[in-house]
Amino acid sequence: SLKTGIVGLPNVGKSTLFNALTENAAAQTANFPFCTIEPNVGIVAVPDERLKVLSQISSSENIIPAFVEIVDIAGLVKGASEGQGLGNKFLSNIRECDAIIHTVRCFDDDEVIHVDGRVNPVEDVATINFELALSDLLQVERRIDRLKKGKAKSPTEKAQEAAELEVLERVSLSLESGIPVRVLKLCEDESVLLSTLNLLTQKPCIYAANVCESDLRTKGSGNIYVENLLDLANSEGSAVCIVSAKIESELVQMELEEREFFLEELGVKEVGLPALVRAVYKQLKLQTYFTTGEKETRAWTTKIGATAPQAAGVIHTDFERGFIKAETVSYQDYVVSEGFAKAKEKGLWRLEGKEYVVKEGDIMVFKFNV
């Protein structure tokens, strides 16, 4: 499943946020296989209202949401990239993630000590990104050294190596100044050349701005910390998600009814997980399609732009290999028609082939050869 890592300076609210998100998921999804693999790893269901609607139409026995794995990567401090033991372990934890949730302190509270003695999101982010960039730099330099030894024989191989070297030199220059690779906005081909290195600062990043209660309603507008963070995120094409770790941790202690009242008081519809997960999906350019029937209604995740066979492959590789056709109805049409049968009568049902590009919310039934 999709893997995200929560990073940030010490004392910015990472663990509070992680605990709240995972406890919340456990509480709200009692029927789903939720588990904490390790104390710092949680698997949370992707909240999606549409699942319930579809399961009612199909009288499904089960609902199976999409899942996201969240890892609380504590201990990333100045000097981590030089660290032999723990520092390295944290960095390799991040290397395994698909996206980074970079938690940033955007609240004032004299009771909570800031490691550098002052709240300054831009500098905080720079401190963490610098460590990640240094770790990347080591990887990149190692690769450059290897390429310079020039093992390639055929002209094609040589050309390929030259192209890779050209990108690596550029990347290395920027990493030396602590600039994340994603800031370079490399083209697709260039990104592919780097993909085996699994660079930390090339990963999609969502900044979770940890704000105080009153900033939730206004989404942080007027909060100078958040505004500075937004500027920074925009400049590198990253997302910002406004959260309050403290509020999250209070919410998980409440019964459903009390929660709704509390949220109303706060003047917000939802907090935390849904928005964060949406931000991750958007940043990773992911979308959801559904399968639904008496047995189960289930959400599946694909890249935006995936073809029908590729989407089928998410369920099983055999589905992709043997793909023939996909019965497809959009979510809206499916709900309005209350199922495939009426959608078909109304002409809202489509039989899509190999070239079909799956759309957000499609309901699909795959026909395939085994």
Checking 56-61 for CB contacts under 8 A at 24+ apart, the result is 57/292, 57/334, 57/335, 57/338, 57/339, 58/292, 58/293, 58/294, 58/297, 58/339, 59/294, 60/292, 60/293, 60/294, 60/295, 60/296, 60/297, 61/294, 61/295, 61/296
Q: How far is the CB of 213 from ligand GDP (least distance, A)?
A: 8
Q: How far is the CB of 348 from ligand GDP (least distance, A)?
A: 46
Total residues interacting with ligand GDP, rule: CB under 6 A = 17
Closer Cβ to ligand GDP, 109 or 166, answer by number: 109
Q: Are 56 and 339 in contact (CB under 8 A)?
A: no
Binding string to ligand GDP for residues 86 to 105, with x set by CB under 6 A, is what? --------------------
Q: Is 116 in the site for ligand GDP (CB under 6 A)?
A: no
Distance, CA of 232 to chain centre: 19
Q: Is 207 in the site for ligand GDP (CB under 6 A)?
A: no
Closer Cβ to ligand GDP, 10 or 305, answer by number: 10
Cα separations in angstroms, 119 against 16, 110, 209, 211:
18, 10, 12, 12
Q: What is the DSSP letter of 254?
A: S
Q: How far is the CB of 10 from ligand GDP (least distance, A)?
A: 4
Q: How far is the CB of 40 from ligand GDP (least distance, A)?
A: 10
Torsional sign, CA 330, 336, 342, 348 = negative
Q: Which stretch binds ligand GDP (CB under 6 A): 58-66, 106-114, 133-141, 189-197?
A: 106-114
The answer to whether the annotation marks 211 as part of a ligand binding site is yes
Within 10 A of 315 (CB to CB), how many other CB atoms are there?
15
The answer to whether the annotation marks 16 as part of a ligand binding site is yes
Euclidean distance between the first and final Cα of the chain, in Å?
25
Q: Which residue lies nearest ligand GDP, judged by its C-beta?
A: 13
| Structure-block tokens of residue 77 | 């401090």
Q: Which stretch binds ligand GDP (CB under 6 A): 5-13, 221-229, 270-278, 300-308?
A: 5-13
The answer to whether the annotation marks 243 as part of a ligand binding site is no
Q: How far is the CB of 54 from ligand GDP (least distance, A)?
A: 35
Q: Which stretch binds ligand GDP (CB under 6 A): 37-45, 107-115, 293-301, 325-333?
A: 107-115
The burial of 57, by beta-carbon neighbours within 10 Å (0-12 exposed, 13-18 middle, 19 or more buried), is given as middle
Find tokens 């055929």 and name the residue.
Answer: 154
Comparing CA positions, the residue from 116, 135, 278 lying closest to residue 197 is 135
Q: Is 112 in the site for ligand GDP (CB under 6 A)?
A: yes
Q: Is 107 in the site for ligand GDP (CB under 6 A)?
A: yes
Q: Which residues face 242 on adjacent strands?
A: 209
Q: Which of 4, 15, 139, 337 binds ligand GDP (CB under 6 A)?
A: 15
Q: Is 10 in the site for ligand GDP (CB under 6 A)?
A: yes
Q: Is 244 in the site for ligand GDP (CB under 6 A)?
A: yes
Find tokens 């509020």 and name the residue.
Answer: 247
Considering only residues 61-80, where is the footprint of ligand GDP by CB under 6 A? 74
Name the site residues for ligand GDP (rule: CB under 6 A): 8, 10-16, 74, 107, 109, 112, 210, 212, 244-246
**Which residue positions form the known binding site?**
11-16, 211
Residues annotated within the binding site for ATP are 11-16, 211
